[in-house]
Amino acid sequence: MRSLVLVLVASTAVAQTTDTTLVSFGIRETPTATSDQLVIGSSSCGTSRVVYWVWNQLGTQACNNMRIWATENACGNEPATGDKEYASVSVLLFRTVGSSGSFTVNIDELPGFEKAGTTTPCGGASTLTKEHKICASVPTALQCGLQNNTFTAASALRVIYDAQPPNAPIISEVLAQDKALKVAFSVSSDTTEVIPFIRPQGSTEYAQRPTISLGTGREVIVDGLLNATTYDVVLRAIDGAGNQSADSEPASGTPRRTIGFWGTYREAGGTDTGGCSSGLGLAPLFALGWFFRRRTR
């Protein structure tokens, strides 16, 4: 079945497509993204999203307006009882290939959140995990007015509400650096960001540091610290829906001054005196080996 494309983006740009057969439509965080779903959390309650539709249908003709609706059920050719229908799109606006437009989806108005007599965002669904679908269909035919008119229907645009927070991070090691600490940790697979918190031991208040996007590494650097001062560190995880975990168990570390190779050499007994005096002995080689072992660690 040929279909229509709807694209959810965070900007005001109109999404376009180069696929003239239009296999599906889906939620997109950018016009070029490939994800067909949007994961939201309780922080999205009370907000709205802009959804862009793109008409690029070939071989058939639109015979009537486009209908767009949200449902908790499977998408059909038209809205069912209890579905949330949005304003229809005039057939005059999308008969031309490449036509596009947009409409607003209020998160609180999705059918799964509608509860009579409550004004709580998302119907008070603070711990709910639910999936909604946004659907669209258009009556089409090779020639409008024929008895065998059919529907060109979009596949489901999935809006997944997830209020389940990720597990708290586990700090495995804190390594001392010059005026900084390197914190190694592990997190659950749904974690996308971590927030470090740090305090000097003896203080009662943690200071929040900037949120760090999680790549392939599982280490963060907390810098701007004082050497020879012991700090407590905790981490908090954030998932793709914006849910925050509980704090990790605290771990501690003490930044220390980095003296470099020559500092290590002098501490090992070396001097700045030139020549090959016996006073140098094996100190340079010892210092070099000790220094690089420390760097490797």
**DSSP for 186-199, written as a single string:** E--TTEEEEEEEEE
**Alpha-carbon gap, residue 37 to 108, rounded angstroms:** 18
**Alpha-carbon gap, residue 158 to 134, rounded angstroms:** 7
**Alpha-carbon gap, residue 25 to 14, rounded angstroms:** 15
Which CATH topology does 170-253 take? Answer: Immunoglobulin-like (2.60.40)
Judged against a pLDDT cut of 50, whether residue 20 lies above it is answered with no
**Alpha-carbon gap, residue 80 to 103, rounded angstroms:** 20
CA dihedral 15, 19, 24, 25 (to 10 degrees): 0
pLDDT of 84 reads 93
- Grade residue 13 by pLDDT with cuts at 50, 70 and 90: very low
| pTM reported for the whole predicted model | 0.65
Per residue in 64-90, pLDDT (tens digit) is 898 999 999 998 889 999 999 998 989
- Average confidence (pLDDT) over 13-25: 33
Q: Of the candidates 189, 199, 257, which has an alpha carbon nearest to the alpha carbon of residue 233?
A: 199
Going by their DSSP bridges, the two strands 48-55 and 37-40 should be labelled as: unpaired
* Higher-confidence position of 133 and 271: 133
Per residue in 229-256, pLDDT (tens digit) is 999 999 999 998 888 999 999 999 999 9
- Average confidence (pLDDT) over 118-130: 71
